[in-house]
Structure 1
Amino acid sequence: MKWGTKYGPEYVNRLYGMVRRHLTGDFQLLCLTDDTNGIRPEVMCRPIPQLDLHLKPGQRDGAWKKLTTFEADLYGLQGTALFLDLDVVIVGSLDDFFTQPGEFLIIHDYPRFWRFGERIVGNSSVYRFTLGAHADVLAYFRGHMAEVQREYRNEQEYLSHALHKQGKLSYWPAKWCPSFKYHSIPPWPTNYWKAPSIPQEARIVIFHGEVNPPDALAGKRNKRFAHIKPALWVADAWKSE
């Protein structure tokens, strides 16, 4: 999905190139977007389904729009869908993402030392589902928007808890989708002389928080008193051809 101006068409084009290199067989890449300019012709572009978010003045819409991937009829498409955030970097085979057992699979959100108890929330940078299978999750959100937004911080928290209650939530193997921020950047103080690396057994490196792929390649963090050396492997992986 691409909306607004944060990500240009090059993100879509590079995502297509990475999928093509790392997925066996035919596929169709669908981009739900409000701007098709500059997107390569191999990508199917369609408008983002209407959500009518109830936002307060100045409130960001976050990623609640991702829930529209669960439309009962998403432009007549059928079959298995693998959702990928625009800013991921694919470094290994995607084939197993389509064969891993489970009704709905998502990244098990990365642990934080201040969290206690069972960790249910998934990170929605990568999730797999059957098109049309979870329309009830979207329908409930549309009918109880204010209530859901009060109870849950973002779309991935709501989505994870809703499918967990239905017994449908599963997680990818932990090493498949590592975090660049937590798993690629060497620990302090070695980050001053060691460059970020590709974690072992990684398939898709997730860029969330203060670093995106161009920043990683340039050795730049949007965080005070933090330092990384350029992650030169991003240039080899994050490309459209």
Structure 2
Amino acid sequence: MTRYIVTLKWGDRYGPEYVNRLASAVRRHTRTPVTIVCFTDDGTGIDPSVEIFPIPEIDLPAADKVTGWRKICLFRPDLPIDGLGLFVDLDVVITGSLDDFFTFGNEDDIPIIHNWMAFHKKFFIKDPMIGNSSVFRWKLNHCAFVWDQFHKEKEWALANFRPPQSYLTHCIRPRMKFWPAEWVRSFKRHCRHAFPLNWLLAPSLPASAKIIAFHGKPDPDEAAVGYRGKRLNHYSRPAPWIDKNWC
């Protein structure tokens, strides 16, 4: 079965350099053949090695078309590619082999990240069984049940699920598996040190991590040079390992 690395790019938040760096990292960290695909509204500047397709149509309110709700379009039954797809957000840094992501579990499983909770919240509630859609795998054109379910309950879904990835979890739960926790780590949760050490120590790279996800702020380019957020615990010193892996 053909293997694809799939990403989405819309608007101007992330330029073509994000796609090109992702593609370069994929080539460094895959031993078996993969095809890199970007669904986008503007393919200008993207490396020719990346296959470019228009973003599949999905009927969403304008405000939701620039959010994670748009990922539901990837579950259409008529995509122009067919095989096993590994979706990877543009705002990640790949630091290890991706081959295991394609062989984990069964082909009909939909593996996804177990979403991370802030440390202080874990004292009060158990980690909810919610996925983080920065990295997930699905069988292309064979998971239309997500697409169909969304359109049957679209208004209810848009009104009741925040963030959008919690709705994706709701749909895929019968087939959902979580990646091994050490494979995909959060920059904010596992690399940036807790306050006040974040002011003294540079963010670390977990030894077993294959992908570092940058959800929210900072983005990789910001974290590489050091980031000062609105709160003291948002600050992070420069992380030179980002530029070494994100190129």
Matched, 1:94 2:102: no
Question: Judging changes above 3 Å, is the alpha-carbon distance between structure 1 residues 85 and 59 closer, same or farther for their aligned structure 2 residues?
Answer: closer
State the 1:42 CA deviation: 0.4
Partner of 1:111: 117
Q: Distance in 2 between matches of 1:208 and 1:118?
A: 17
Over residues 185-222 of structure 1, what are the superposed CA-to-partner deviations in whole Å (9 max), with x where a residue is unaligned?
A: 11222212210011131000000121110111110133
Contact residue 117 and residue 127 of structure 2 kept, 8 A: no
Over residues 97-152 of structure 1, what are the superposed CA-to-partner deviations in whole Å (9 max), with x where a residue is unaligned?
A: 01111410000000241663562210000001111121121122123221111121
1:88-237 matches, cutoff 5 A: 88-102=92-106, 103-112=109-118, 113=121, 116-117=125-126, 119-164=128-173, 167-225=174-232, 226-237=234-245
Q: Distance in 1 between matches of 2:65 and 2:175?
A: 29
Contact residue 183 and residue 211 of structure 2 kept, 8 A: yes
Q: TM-score, normalised by structure 1?
A: 0.92
Contact residue 175 and residue 201 of structure 1 kept, 8 A: yes
Mean CA deviation greater in 153-162 or 110-119:
110-119
Q: Secondary structure at the match of 2:166?
A: helix
Q: TM-score, normalised by structure 2?
A: 0.90
Matched, 1:42 2:49: yes
Q: Secondary structure at the match of 1:12?
A: helix
Q: Partner amino acid for 1:179?
A: S
RMSD between superposed Cα atoms in Å: 1.6
Q: Distance in 2 between matches of 1:172 and 1:223?
A: 32
Q: Distance in 2 between matches of 1:174 and 1:43?
A: 29
Q: Distance in 2 between matches of 1:195 and 1:133?
A: 43
Contact residue 10 and residue 42 of structure 2 kept, 8 A: yes
Structure number with higher helix proportion: 2
State the 1:61 CA deviation: 3.9
Q: Secondary structure at the match of 1:110?
A: coil
Length, aligned pairs only: 234
Q: Partner amino acid for 1:96?
A: D
Over residues 161-193 of structure 1, what are the superposed CA-to-partner deviations in whole Å (9 max), with x where a residue is unaligned?
A: 1111xx211000001101001100112222122
Contact residue 161 and residue 167 of structure 2 kept, 8 A: yes
Partner of 2:24: 17
Q: Distance in 2 between matches of 1:232 and 1:177?
A: 19
Partner of 1:32: 39
Mean CA deviation greater in 154-163 or 41-50:
154-163
Question: Judging changes above 3 Å, is the alpha-carbon distance between structure 1 residues 34 and 59 closer, same or farther for their aligned structure 2 residues?
Answer: closer
Partner of 1:64: 69
Matched, 1:238 2:246: yes
Q: Partner amino acid for 1:47?
A: P
Q: Partner amino acid for 1:148?
A: A
